[in-house]
Chain A
Amino acid sequence: MLEFIQQLINGLSLGAIYALIALGYTMVYGIIMLINFAHGDIMMVGAYVGFFSISILGSNIIVAMIFAMATCAILGVVIEKVAYKPLRNSTRIAALITAIGVSLFLEYVVLYFLTAQQRVYPDSAFPLHKYHIAGLVISNKDIFIIVSAIILMIILQYIIKRTKTGKAMRAVSLDRDAAVLMGISVDKTVSVTFAIGSALAAAAGVMIGLYYNTINPLMGIIPGLKAFIAAVLGGIGLVPGAMVGGFVMGVLETLVSGYGSSMYRDAVAYGVLILILLIKPTGLFGKNTGEKV
């Protein structure tokens, strides 16, 4: 039993990270129906910005995270304007391919300028303390990640539910044309969505750097994919879905490696995806909308 709880704790911090990334995916999908394949790579850029902020500017972890979030918010908006906006009225396939192109572009530009060598987050940024409570091990990093993730999600919920921008986001994702008729600037709303989503991904990136210590240019691919699965699991386009989906994926992954075979861990993630798509494609929180003939 104890071991099970230990596994749960292990899974929670992983889940928090997936949740943050999944939020970005889900918000963007909700608003422009695009699976932004480049999202995982934005997370990677965030991790690098955090790294340079700590090692060159000597900032502490909170400043580094804010800096990374700001940079990636801008990056996200730029990408949207340059690559996605022109395709807003094209086929979904075209937009998907472009997203893949952007993803490759980010990965290989970083690879080119910063080489394939992994970078190591210095321990001094956040010295580790372990707490032993009732036979369980939990570290201050675990706590930091889970708490920060929850705080960010609360802020996000506030923005969506209580601010005008949030209202605009909800309107555009519900019915774009009607939103335009109501005087909402779709362009601005989309930009804001990208900015917020990218900022969350950047935070996740810094957390990964902090927690797992190493970062490399291709680090965004697999977590990005898993976070995407998390978003689908929870219901793509739905914010609470992404949060829950992220935690579920994190815990599931840890439990599979703990109790099953770690080699099938990735396959299980994809298996979850397929199951969900076959049984309830709209996700845990999704509603079934029929197709009008």
Chain B
Amino acid sequence: MLKKGFGKKVALLVLAVFILSIVAGCGGNTSNDAKEGDKSAAGDTIKIGINCELSGAVASYGDNARNGALLAIEEINAAGGVLGKQLEPLVRDNQSKTDEAMNVSAALVDEGMVAQIGPLTSGAVAGSTPIAMENQIPLIAPAATADNVTVDDKTNKVRDFIFRVCYRDSDQGRRMADFAIDTLGVKTAAIFGSTSDDYAKGLAKYFKEQFEAKGGTIVAEEGFMNGDKDFRGTLTKIRGTNPEFIYVPGYYTEVSVLIKQARDLGINVPIGGGDGWDSPDMIAVAGAEALNNTYFTNHYSVEDPDPAIQNFVKAYQAKHNKLPDSFAALGYDSMKLLADAITRAGSADPVKIKEALEQTKDFAGITGTMSINEFHNPVKDIVVIEYKDGKQVAR
């Protein structure tokens, strides 16, 4: 039935009702909504926001990072907390969406977090960035590797409150190119990487730059999408170009299957990748034999006998019944770094925490001993790991 033009007016009336209810709601909250100055350590816990992808496309990575962070909090709290107070995690799901990441950050600011860990993906971190900057809350990204996460690529200025504990795409990609040319001695390479996210595309781009800069030739460039399970068509095509090395930047979910299929098709040249490879699933899916002669840049090795690493691995395994992957390790390190910064700052004031983070020197994380440089990036070693008979060996 047609109504004469009143529909729109009433629709807006409904909007008015909604707004009023919001006002009523926030009127009640206004007393709690003071600027962050008061937020520091109100009560006897220090609230840490954990903004992770817990559902949606990259849920498994967000899951692990959160597990790592929570494990760190458990250990810290058991040892007496920070500055005598217990750490209180506020875990929220950003659904692998960038707008939700912004929403979650705003909600967490509301709840009084003094710092945020996460999100995982560079895109979601970008979504949270405006909130972190506006509210002057430090944000530590465990695994966002796009170069422009910490530095605005238009103005080349550092983003004041954004930090990360992982190295950048540029560092990793170049490292592998160096390794391929210098250590493995190859001259031609094919790139077959994920095109679904900036991480892998970044790696591919920097690998190619460095590889060609050192005199190598890229004979093929192909892509796959996250979620793909069948790479044989493209692998057959790559096989035809006879590369001496194949660079496969991406996440273990796809890479494990890809390597298996490559070996099945008779492609036996060395294959390389980045830290996204790091997961026990690689061996489970691809099998030890397929993984021989593969290399990847990583933060640490799960087999490293260093006691700190082994303790982490054992604790994680005891709690979650599986080995940690690099996301878990990075989540863990982010939290430990944050706790360390709070201790050094001597207060839970977000601005002081940020300053302490900037001054981080030689923090002994399990993903390496790192110092935060002027671009808010960690300076740490990039280890190249080789798979030998199903075991990780540092090269």
Verify whether A and B have any Cβ pair under 8 Å: yes
Q: Kindly identify which residue among B60, B225, B285 contacts A263, using a CB–CB cutoff of 8 Å.
A: B225
The answer to whether A256 touches B229, judged by C-beta atoms less than 8 angstroms apart, is no
A265 contacts across to B, CB distance below 8 A:
225
Is B390 located at the chain interface by the 8 A CB criterion? no
Contact A208 B229 (CB under 8 A): yes
Asked if B230 is at the interface of the complex by the 8 Å CB criterion, the answer is yes
Asked whether, in the complex, the Cβ of A137 is within 8 Å of the Cβ of B265, the reply is yes
CB proximity of B112 to chain A, nearest CB, Å? 28
A261 close to B (CB within 8 Å)? yes
Interface residue range, chain A: 35 or more
How far, in whole Å, are A261 and B264 apart by their CA atoms in the complex? Answer: 22
- Set of chain B residues within 8 Å of A116, measured between Cβ atoms: 54-55, 59-60, 62-63
Complex Cα–Cα for A50 and B232 (A) = 25
**Given that A6-B236, A212-B229, A262-B234 are known contacts, is A108 also in contact with B257, CB under 8 Å in the complex?**
no
Mark interface residues in A1-19 (1 if CB within 8 Å of B CB, else 0): 0010011001100100000
Inter-chain contact total with CB atoms closer than 8 Å: 98
Give 1 or 0 for each of B206-244: 1 = CB within 8 Å of chain A CB. Answer: 000000000000000011110111111110110010000
**Residues of A contacting B222 in the complex (Cβ-Cβ under 8 angstroms):** 261-262
- Verify if B256 is at the interface (C-beta below 8 Å from A): yes
Q: Which residues of chain B are near A123, meaning CB under 8 Å? A: 287
Q: Which of B62, B223, B229 has most chain A Cβ within 10 Å? A: B229
Chain A hits for B228, CB < 8 A: 262
Question: Which size bracket describes the interface of B in this complex?
Answer: 35 or more
Bound together, the chains give a CA A106 to CA B326 distance in angstroms of 29
- Residue A117 lies at the interface, judged by CB distance under 8 Å to chain B: yes
Is A139 in the interface zone, CB < 8 Å from B?
yes
Stretch at the interface among A167-175, A213-221, A270-278: A213-221
- B233 in complex: contacting residue of A117, A222, A258, CB < 8 Å: A258
A111 touches B237 (CB 8 A): no
Complex-state Cα separation, A219 to B195, whole angstroms: 19
| A118→B257 CA distance, assembly (Å) | 13
Known interface pairs A7-B233, A10-B230. Does A130 touch B223 (Cβ–Cβ under 8 Å)? no
Are B63 and A115 neighbours in the complex by a CB distance under 8 Å? yes
The reply to whether A216 and B256 form a contact with Cβ atoms under 8 Å apart is no
Q: Using Cβ atoms and an 8 Å threshold, which residues of chain A touch B1?
A: none
Residues of B within 8 A of A254 (CB): 230, 232-233
Q: In this complex, what residue of B is CB-closest to A215?
A: B229
One digit per residue, 1 when the CB lies within 8 angstroms of any chain B CB and 0 when it does not, for chain A 118-157 equals 1010110000101000000101000000000000000000
Partner of A258, one of B227, B234, B264: B234
Q: Does B57 reach chain A (CB closer than 8 Å)?
A: yes
B312-342: CB near A (< 8 Å → 1, else 0) gives 0000000000100000000000000000000
Is A257 an interface position by the 8 A CB rule?
yes
A116 CB → nearest B CB, Å: 3
Q: Which residues of A contact B195 (CB under 8 A)?
A: 263
A203 part of interface (Cβ distance < 8 Å): no
In contact, A137 and B225 (Cβ under 8 angstroms): no
A257 to B229, CA, bound (A): 12
Most buried by B among A14, A116, A208: A116
Q: How close is B197's CB to chain A, nearest CB, in angstroms?
A: 13
Do A262 and B233 form a contact, CB below 8 Å, given A111-B55, A137-B264, A214-B256?
A: yes
Residues of B within 8 Å of A263, CB to CB, are 195, 223-225
Given A7-B236, A123-B287, A255-B233; A222-B264 close (CB under 8 Å): no
Min Cβ gap A105→B in Å is 13
Q: When the two chains form their complex, are residues B223 and A120 in contact, meaning their CB atoms are under 8 A apart?
A: no
Residue of A with least CB distance to B254: A214
- Nearest B residue to A262, CB-CB: B234
A113: Cβ under 8 A from any B Cβ: no
Instruction: Please determine whether A214 and B223 come into contact, CB atoms closer than 8 angstroms.
Output: no
Known: A213-B257, A263-B195. A117 touches B63 (CB 8 A): yes
CA distance A216 to B256 in the complex (A): 14
Q: Tell me if A214 and B253 are in contact (CB < 8 A).
A: yes
B281 interface residue (CB < 8 Å to A): yes
Residue of A nearest to B222 (CB): A262
Residues of A within 8 A of B281 (CB): 118, 120, 214
A177 at the interface (CB under 8 A from B): no
Known: A7-B233, A212-B230. 18 other contacts (CB 8 A): A10-B230, A10-B232, A11-B233, A108-B55, A111-B55, A116-B63, A123-B287, A128-B264, A212-B257, A213-B284, A213-B285, A214-B257, A214-B281, A222-B227, A253-B233, A258-B234, A262-B222, A262-B228
Residues of chain A having any CB pair with chain B under 8 Å: 3, 6-7, 10-11, 14, 108, 111, 115-118, 120, 122-123, 128, 130, 137, 139, 208, 211-214, 216, 218-219, 222, 253-259, 261-263, 265-266
A-B contact pairs, 12 of them (CB 8 A): A116-B59, A116-B60, A118-B253, A120-B285, A137-B265, A212-B229, A214-B285, A254-B230, A258-B237, A262-B224, A262-B231, A266-B225
Considering the complex of A and B, which 9 residue pairs feature the smallest CB-CB distances, nearest first? A116-B59, A258-B233, A257-B233, A212-B229, A116-B60, A254-B233, A120-B284, A10-B232, A213-B285
